[in-house]
Amino acid sequence: MSLSRRHFLTLSAAAAGSVALGRYLWPASSAIEPVARRVSRDGLLDVTFTAARSRLSFGRQSLAGLTYNGRAPGEVLELKPGDTLRLTLDNQLGEDTNLHYHGLHIPPTGRADDVFRHIHPGESYTYEFQIPADHPATLAYYHPHVHGRVAKQVFGGLGGAIVVRGAIDEIPEVRSAREEIVFLKDFGGDFERSPRGPEHLQGRQGDILTVNGRLGERWTLPQNGLLRLRLLNASAARFFQLKIEDHLLYLIGTDGGAIERPVEMETIALAPGERADILVKGDREPGTYRVLDRSPQTGRMGRMHGMGRMHGRGRNNEPTAIATIEYGEPVTPVGIPESLGTIDPLPEPETVHRIDLGHGMAPGGMVFLMNGKAFDGDRVDIRAPLGGVEDWEVANRGMTSHPFHIHTNPFQIVSRDGEAAPFRVWKDTVNINPGEVVRLRMRYDDFPGKTVYHCHVLDHEDAGMMGILEIEDRTRANKQRSSFTHKQT
């Protein structure tokens, strides 16, 4: 374990090279308001979001965008396992919308995570569901999910973070850390303009890199203490690759919550939809340090979370400062925790599904395909048994990276190009570079129904790269069938 961790650090460091000093592209905002947060009380979080068109400001620039209650991102929702979220969405967008609760293990049906439900213009709809009592602590992500409009609505500004509290938050070192939500998102240009021709490979991207919807975020790192950054890539299509000047990053959690032991890294790559929980140690010369991004411009990106090497860079490789860390008052020294929890491996799979990701040309432009097919809401692509364990072998046969996301149940990464994953993780989104094959393993726990899997470069999803998974309760189906047969005889 320690060998592979050290191995990764070397690879990552070599790939990152010595980072040239970047520059501030944007002036720091003059007034920094705290991130708006709504916390559950007595087991309930009851919120109303009005989705509407708004003007967004970034420094001296102003753009047309989309907001929840006038905010982009929307308020942070904070709950505990067992709590109920009641969320009324009032649609003033002038077109269909809805919500997906990315990373929450909740039913894909009813008033929960049903992305097939459309909320029409002028309508209001109330989602209501319970966070399961055994839900792991994690950072989840709410965003719209009406097929064909997802990229535009997310790029316009719709989305927000959900914090589920739990065991990792109680580890003394983690508890002592200053915590910041880092909602990463690019803005720029006309959010409604669809990519044309080969632009479609990259999806819609902007040059304004924001953290929590703002420019020039500043965080305090207590001298000798810890800063905990909860990263979420909420871009429609942009990949982030972050490092902090002169500081290592200690990965403590991924999409699905805590990993088993911290993993030391120099840089962290985040594809759209991915999250990471990291600690930063305040053990350097007190001062000011920049958080730098070197988003790969197109094509391949670094492997996720210590999964391997970094690949060919884009043309513009100048790092951009997206935030600043300032040392604060000294505190009693705190170290990085030794262990964070356990992840039990899933049993051997009963079935292996194979999915090829690709693209092609159609009369209307580029189409993005899974096993040669574009999304069809009336077709079930994969049927799986409730309670079963299956592997999915996902191969990228195309020319650009595809972050592969599955709703409802998290998965473990088994291997990449046949090489075993260096450490156990629970994830819901995994980046797959051109030519790579990723094998992931999933158990279809407790929630039957139709759900989806898709590419999280949202322009690819909108242009066809999505499929339907139906999780079937076969015991119940068999019972119904036998009682039906009984009546017939």
Contacts with Cu ion, residue ranges (CB under 5 A): 402, 455, 457, 460
**Rounded Cα gap, residues 247 and 320, in angstroms:** 17
**Rounded Cα gap, residues 410 and 426, in angstroms:** 6
Total number of residues shown for the chain:
489
- Got the DSSP string for 379-448? ---EEEETT-EEEEEEEE-SSS-EEEEESSS-EEEEEETTEEPSS---BSEEEE-TT-EEEEEEE--S--
Q: Which is nearer to Cu ion, 165 or 460 (CB)?
A: 460
Q: Which is nearer to Cu ion, 65 or 398 (CB)?
A: 398
SS3 322: strand
**Bridge partner list, 179:** 228
Q: Which is nearer to Cu ion, 238 or 281 (CB)?
A: 238
Q: Which is nearer to Cu ion, 46 or 199 (CB)?
A: 199
Q: Measured from the CB of residue 396, what is the shortest distance to Cu ion in angstroms?
A: 9
Q: What's the farthest any 2 CA atoms get from each other in the chain?
A: 83
Q: Which is nearer to Cu ion, 450 or 460 (CB)?
A: 460
**Rounded Cα gap, residues 392 and 222, in angstroms:** 43
Q: Measured from the CB of residue 383, what is the shortest distance to Cu ion in angstroms?
A: 24
Q: Which is nearer to Cu ion, 80 or 460 (CB)?
A: 460
Q: Which is nearer to Cu ion, 151 or 168 (CB)?
A: 151
Q: Measured from the CB of residue 415, what is the shortest distance to Cu ion in angstroms?
A: 21
Q: Measured from the CB of residue 398, what is the shortest distance to Cu ion in angstroms?
A: 8
Q: Measured from the CB of residue 456, what is the shortest distance to Cu ion in angstroms?
A: 7
Omega before residue 330 within 30° of 0, cis: no
Q: Return the closest-CA partner of residue 260 out of 98, 444, 136, 364.
A: 136
Q: Measured from the CB of residue 359, what is the shortest distance to Cu ion in angstroms?
A: 8
**Rounded Cα gap, residues 251 and 276, in angstroms:** 7
Q: Which is nearer to Cu ion, 131 or 455 (CB)?
A: 455
Q: Measured from the CB of residue 308, what is the shortest distance to Cu ion in angstroms?
A: 20
* Amino acid, single-letter form, for residue 52: A
- Got the DSSP string for 256-312? TEEEEEEEEES-EEE-TT-EEEEEEE--S-SSEEEEEE----SS--PPSTTSS----
Q: Measured from the CB of residue 468, what is the shortest distance to Cu ion in angstroms?
A: 17
